Structure 1
Amino acid sequence: MKLRLGLPKGSLQEATFQLFKQAGFNISVRSRSYFPAVNDPELEIVLMRAQEIPRYVYEGVLDAGISGLDWIMENEADVVEVADMVYAKNTPNPIRLVIAVADNSDIKSVSDLNGKRVATELVRVTQKYLKENGVEALIEYSYGATEVKVPHLVDAIADITETGSSLKANNLRIIATILESTTKLHANRSSWEDPWKREKLQSLAVLLQGALRARSKVGLKMNVPGAMLETILDVLPAMKQPTISQLVRSDWVAVEVILEEMQVRDLIPALKRAGAQDIIEYPLTKVIP
């Protein structure tokens, strides 16, 4: 039996392949191919645009797929959310669907969009948001280059952004956030009811989320004089409690912790000053709580 899995082709492809590799799945694809090879005989991978994946999952063409919440909502796809996976093309943060106008536009708020023209790839989501805010506007589908359409072709756009830098570069100003979207591993409801496929998806989710969790953490090992252990523990954070083991024929101990990578820069000098020696920092592949 195989699990047919849709993965995004395009801007999110490389980040997805890297995540799967970290989780233990090596995916290789020839140029122009939509059916990559993977080192798991129980997986059949199909590459397609992220915009289409939720629809094919909902209709049962795919057992499961990886796509953003924004596209699940746009396709109005009734699917099972298996796992939330916060990663994007450039950052580990959620992306946002925002409404933006020209810097010098008279439009200051969503209510000012009444009777205006708005371009977007997420037509249904944008229409629903504006309707909920009592706004009637002409929403048109954008086939690309959405940011350059303001103000010469449309009054505003609803577009995806990670950092907002591209909008600023095109002299655009955000007036509202429609939604925050993260990447979802989602499944067809019938496939989810199949015991084998559900177990396979749950195992896949554990590995992928473990790989994502590991990206923000590192391990630290060090040797500490027994007399200085309490001082070291006072400055040492950890996921739970440090692992401490006695060195052979010595009053020194080995201390090991897992912690946030962003803490390490300031922590290592502090540990050195507190008496720690032989400090080793190492990367992690997966963290499974």
Structure 2
Amino acid sequence: MTQLQRPQSDTASASADGSRPLLRIGIPKGSLQDATVDLFDRAGYNINISSRSYFPEIDDPQLSAVMFRAQEMSRYVEDGVIDLGITGQDWIIENESDVHEVCELSYSKATAKPVRWVLAVPEESDYHKPEDLAGGIIATELINTTRRYFEQQQIAVKKVEFSWGATEVKARLVDAIVDVTETGSSLRANKLRVIDELLTSTTRLIANKQAWADPARRQKIEDLAVLLQGAIAARSKVGLKLNVPRASLEAVLAILPAEQSPTINDLADGAWVAIEVVVDERVERELVPSLRRAGATAIFSYPLNKVVP
């Protein structure tokens, strides 16, 4: 098994000018890994992950990176092992970590929707509400949160035991499970029924409180947050460019979304203008034909890497 090791010396993690990186960031290993690398790429950062190393390369001399599982990320941020990291709010709550939440990053391995931690039983089970589980055994990876849930509900279960993965399979070996779901497909595939929801969670960028209190490190963290949020915002939008006869300009502007303020430039031919605007991707397919009918020509759309308000 590959062992997690610190860099052999200060030089190993030094930037190109010989100084140490300003920040060490934790990249989540596991289900969020690929989505995180893609997010950073769209934000302008290239992360290269070797299959044999826990220390990815990142093309910013002010940053060094290390990989941890999301479940333990908040503990390492709180302890100052790393300055900031990306993890789910659920694991911050589970670990009761004292960290600064910089911003929400609405992305995950499958969708942009929050994940849900649910209390579930087999479809054929006689359990229909949480109270029915009094005296029962619950299997989960979110063990502290689950214990607090039953305590708050004043339901005396026999045991909340830790599940080392494949929790859905154990639903028929114990009385119930608490498991995470994003789309619900795994629950349906295992013929499980949800009887309550413990919490919802989204991905967060978190910082060590001492790092956040340092002006130089805080500025770098805030800059990174702006770029990451801009990359997320761009996922649902496209840029549109089009040429419009001046005589049709009013009609075209009336069609464009009211909340947008398009850029309008004169063309060499004074009878024409060029318009550029950012719109939601979901309305583009309806918008383009309408713009064409209103007199616009040379319409083309393009993907966006970042949209920063």
Give, in whole Å, the separation in 2 of the partners of 1:199 and 1:256: 32
CA shift for structure 1 position 6: 0.9
| Contact 1:238/1:257, CA 8 A, preserved across alignment | no
Question: Which stretch shifts more, 159-168 or 133-142?
Answer: 133-142
**1:25 is paired with a residue of what secondary structure?**
coil
> What is aligned with 2:298?
278
CA shift for structure 1 position 34: 0.1
Question: Which stretch shifts more, 253-262 or 240-249?
Answer: 240-249
In the alignment, which of 26, 32, 43 is matched to residue 12 of structure 1?
32
**1:221-262, CA deviations, whole angstroms, 9 ceiling, x for partnerless residues?**
111122222222222116531122222233222121111111
**1:183-236, CA deviations, whole angstroms, 9 ceiling, x for partnerless residues?**
111011111111111111111101111111111111111111222222222221
CA shift for structure 1 position 30: 1.3
1:141 aligns with 2:178: no
**1:157-188, CA deviations, whole angstroms, 9 ceiling, x for partnerless residues?**
11111100111000011121211111111011
> What is aligned with 1:189?
209
1:266 aligns with 2:267: no
> What is aligned with 1:32?
52
Residue segments in structure 2 that go unaligned for 5+ positions in a row? 1-19
1:253 aligns with 2:273: yes
Superposition map of 1:173-184 within 5 A: 173-184=193-204
Give, in whole Å, the separation in 1 of the partners of 2:39 and 2:206: 16
In the alignment, which of 155, 159, 164 is matched to residue 184 of structure 2?
164
TM-score relative to the length of structure 1: 0.96
Residue segments in structure 1 that go unaligned for 5+ positions in a row? none
Aligned residue identity for 1:187: A
Give, in whole Å, the separation in 2 of the partners of 1:224 and 1:286: 26
> What is aligned with 1:122?
142
In the alignment, which of 212, 217, 227 is matched to residue 237 of structure 2?
217
TM-score relative to the length of structure 2: 0.90
Please, what is the CA RMSD of the aligned residues? 1.2
In the alignment, which of 90, 112, 123 is matched to residue 70 of structure 1?
90
**1:106-125, CA deviations, whole angstroms, 9 ceiling, x for partnerless residues?**
21122222222111100111
Give, in whole Å, the separation in 2 of the partners of 1:284 and 1:238: 20
Give, in whole Å, the separation in 2 of the partners of 1:109 and 1:266: 45
> What is aligned with 2:11?
none
Aligned length: 288
Give, in whole Å, the separation in 2 of the partners of 1:87 and 1:253: 38
